[in-house]
Chain A
Amino acid sequence: MGHRDYFHLVATKSSTKNTPPGFARHGLTDEQLVAILRTMLMHRRLETRGFELNRQGKIPFASAGEGHEAVQAGAAMAFVRGKDILVPYYRDLGLDLGVGLRPVEVLLSLFGRADDHSGGRQFPHHYASKQLGIYTISSVLAAQLPHAVGAAFAMKYRNERDRAVLTTVGDGATSEGEWHESMNFAAVHKLPIVFLCENNEWAISTPLDKQMANPNIWQRAAGYGMPGVVVDGFDPIACYAATKDAMDRARSGGGPTLIEAKCYRFLAHTTDDDDRTYRSREEVETRRKDDPVPKFERLLVEAGILSAEGLEALKRSVLAEANEATDQAEAMPYPLPEALYEGVYADDFQPWR
């Protein structure tokens, strides 16, 4: 079911006029606003599910994007399906959902099942979908950026207008040499690409002040000769607007943009990390007060875009879909041992034989 179908189930009315003062929707319709909220709710639901399944011993690993819901759902709304390419990093569940990945596809990845797009061979949360334009990625920080830049270079080289690449990293990956080389190359060749940095202030256990001396990553853009933008990563509409503006510029030949979305990571880095060893509960609880998910729920209810009942219905539909996806994926078979060599070489060539 696409976001259009849900809209008619839960929205109070189909209007773009019904907004309280001070609420800038940047051209987003009620339908799109509800779709953004649904992506955020599904994002959080599937994150929680990943941790639950890991603690139940059913899946080996999950990473967590709680606190990134707004930036990812907002940015995904600026992605044009069927045209743009997404090169995400490992904490981008919301972006993947936002560009069209279905919860069952997410669960197939987490369960490592044969029907997963990577045949159950990729790391959990490393989604890929040729159909949706989502690149498969490496866990190695910043390794995806030269690939993203290569895709953008191909678009320019082939003169494919009205297309752009959206690529993301966390704050830690900006310290990698590949980040620098990618930014510079994209700027030199004016490539159709948007670099979205989701700055959650923690690179696993490394806090921002040990990662960089100037915490404003967007300010590096000027050095490369491209626009740099900073945006509140807890505000999905602001994130949409900044990404839309940058993607439109990229698609029309205006070159790359660096966007820094300031957000926070509420959970540990992954199911294999205990963040109590390096940051206080007080810090996390303080930041939870700005949790973007309930904040955006309130905004849509107060704006009259969603009723209280509509919101409840939306949450129930998200839970139902997450449950169905879990059951469906869990029931699927693992890859067979004899499939190990498939997709490695073309045809029957097996040099190890």
Chain B
Amino acid sequence: MAKTETKAKSLDRHGLTDEQLRAIFRNMLLQRQLDNRGFQLNRQGKVPFALGSEGHEALQAGAAMAFERGKDILAPYYRDLGLAIGIGLTPYEIMLSLFARAADHNGGRQFPNHYSSKHAGLMSFSSILAAHIPHAVGAAYAMKYRGEGGRAVLVTCGDGTTSEGEWHESMNFAAIHKLPLVMLVENNGWAISTPIEHQMAQPEIWKRAAGYGMPGKRFNGLDPIETYATVNEALQRARSGGGPTIVEGTCFRFLAHSTDDNDLTYRTKEMVLEQRKHDPVPAFEQTLLDAGVMSAADIEAMRKDVLRETNDATDKAEAMPYPQASDLYTHLYEGAWQPWQ
């Protein structure tokens, strides 16, 4: 299984090795398993909240493969589990966030699914739509200001966020200053309960790029290889001084917005079942089988491994302690200064 070329038939792999293709698929399986686990734990009353990214697996696993660990910065939004694990977050870290334990990178203080990791280059973010985009642009501006070539910022949002003023201000500023930034829009057609036709009159978000004077491209976000190729090209342009790009991946949101949402109040089960026929996870499994990159036995073994890792992570995180009440005031002010005392 170490060879980089197989008997691949009609698989345009865009330079991805077998190993990378398997890593993408493993990410997709893990993402779905962890998403399900979040919903299960919520229904069991063990975690307060979880967000599902089912339908975004291909897009996120493919995009993460274009990210350069140790160099690039990721400024994700709240539906980016696959991107987070794709750039190196462990399932255990995900579970610490969901369980809000003290060992979580944010000390259990952030919203679930709002990961961050200084080590992985993953910026902490707000749930407020588009609030993280000016921060991402700021990080890209710092890279340019400091003359740090070969680095770029990957920032993501959903389709709904593109209606926010901050999105516009960020795109314009990035274009003026030719910043090393890639704006990845994960267009799943739903902003919680608002369908795309009530969100914008012209549904192709990438077409806005021309107005800002930057390249724009749309891709099939259900295809992880096409996603990788598109995001990789944009990131490479950004890293080499070519400025920002808007890339728009079309995908689906199979689950409700979050564990606190019932999507059957605004869309029908039939709509979702129809979309499920295009589920990117079994589709990519078939692609890898057809190309001979993985055998059925390989896939079965991988599934078992993903489940085991998820179970281990769940058990381990659940067993960790909550933050102490006495830690409430740490990290607020420097030193021992506590102005409220």
Contact = CB atoms under 8 A, between A and B. Distances in A.
B214 A188 contact: no
A188 B210 contact: no
A178 B208 contact: no
Interface in A178-224: 178-181, 184-185, 187-188, 190, 209-214, 217, 219-224
Given A223-B202, A224-B202, A214 B168 contact: no
Interface in B208-245: 208-214
Nearest to A187: B201
Interface residues of B, number: 26
B200 interface: yes
Contact of A220 (B166, B167, B198, B208): B208
A328 interface: no
Nearest to B134: A177
B315 interface: no
B200 A225 contact: yes
A226 B207 contact: no
Interface string B146-179: 0000000000000000011111110011011010
Contacts of B209: 223
Contacts of B210: 214, 219, 222-223
A176 interface: yes
A211 B200 contact: no
A328 to B, nearest CB: 43
Contacts, number: 83
A104 B212 CA distance: 42
Interface residues of A, number: 28
B165 A220 contact: no
A14 interface: no
Contacts of B163: 180-181, 184-185
A267 B327 CA distance: 59
Contact of B202 (A177, A180, A212, A222): A222
Interface of A: 175-181, 184-185, 187-188, 190, 209-214, 217, 219-226, 255
Given A177-B164, A211-B176, 14 more contacts: A175-B168, A177-B169, A180-B168, A181-B164, A184-B163, A187-B202, A188-B201, A221-B211, A222-B207, A222-B210, A223-B207, A223-B208, A225-B202, A255-B201
6 contacts: A177-B169, A180-B169, A212-B172, A213-B178, A222-B211, A223-B207
